[in-house]
Chains A and B, each alone.
Chain A
């Protein structure tokens, strides 16, 4: 069965800290890995990764994929209270179906 595991499940940091969120996966028909941010409502898209070793960057957020070791990381530098959310990792496992991890709940305290 296809599986996506995220760690840690929750994380509490202070503003200005740097955090690293982990996502490992086991799927039979990998196509891409996606990161989403969920703040009490609709998950919003952050990154889509298909190739190993190529870092995707958007402001203070960045992500990279390792297809040999089957994992991805999401980094957030200089965290702000507005970064508080659940971060979801998902893998496209054929036919546009996404398999999600349970998410990492990030709390950034002032």
Chain B
């Protein structure tokens, strides 16, 4: 069981480019969550998805950010037209349906130059 796999581990984008972050949940987990961690800040909830459904996107910025969890393949967090303020660590977690089973991936560190 490889755990929650996130890739890439590090991503550098120039301002205005697109960033695509991928998350493969643990085997048997059908719930995926994305969190963002800014320097010196705690993790902030962004979005909660199940297969082909967005359950709660209350933490997603209204523009430029989108997330999906298709029937096949990993969950994708997509940031369009990135700005310097998007630089952060983005963590994905998965669970079988309870927070007791929450397992985090190692994160993607996005740097916008």
Contact = CB atoms under 8 A, between A and B. Distances in A.
B45 A102 contact: no
Contacts, number: 60
B99 interface: yes
Contact of A4 (B42, B59, B98): B42
Given A34-B99, A48-B99, A48-B100, A98 B106 contact: no
B98 A100 contact: no
Interface string B26-65: 0000010101000011111100100000011011000000
A44 B105 CA distance: 10
Which of under 10, 10 to 19, 20 to 34, or 35 or more describes the interface residues of A? 20 to 34
Given A95-B55, A97-B48, A41 B107 contact: yes
Contacts of B90: none
B58 to A, nearest CB: 8
A44 B106 CA distance: 10
A96 B106 contact: no
Contacts of B31: 96
B107 A96 contact: no
Nearest to B58: A97
Given A41-B107, A43-B91, A92 B43 contact: no
Interface of chain A, helix or strand or loop or mixed? Answer: strand
20 contacts: A31-B99, A32-B99, A42-B4, A42-B104, A43-B43, A43-B104, A44-B104, A45-B103, A88-B42, A90-B43, A92-B99, A95-B48, A95-B56, A96-B48, A96-B102, A97-B59, A98-B35, A98-B102, A100-B43, A102-B41
